[in-house]
Amino acid sequence: MDYNEWGTEYLNEAQRLKEHLAPLRRQARLAKNEEANKLYRRIALLNDMYLDCLHTGRYLVRIGAKR
């Protein structure tokens, strides 16, 4: 597997995470206290995963373009 392909997989996973986050954010806005807190913690964790995938994917694609 080359860097470009590997990076593309990371970017695809980042997109899936982003799509999964949108309904959770809407749900959290409508939720009450305890439920909203749980959702926001879950959103924070998934958002970190999204950003990791996004940055890693971009980096790998950039490295792949140089080779």
9-65 residue pLDDT tens: 999 999 999 999 999 999 999 999 999 999 999 999 999 999 999 999 999 999 998
Give the 3-state DSSP-derived string for the chain, with helices as H, strands as E and coil as C: CCHHHHHHHHHHHHHHHHHHHHHHHHHHHHCCHHHHHHHHHHHHHHHHHHHHHHHHHHHHHHHHHHC
Rounded Cα distance, 48 and 50, in Å: 5
Query: The whole model's pTM is what?
Result: 0.90
Number of domain units in the chain: 1
Rounded Cα distance, 11 and 58, in Å: 7
Q: Residue 15: what pLDDT?
A: 98
Domain with 55 in it = 3-66
If you count them, how many residues does the chain have? 67
Structure confidence at residue 1 as a pLDDT band (50, 70, 90): confident
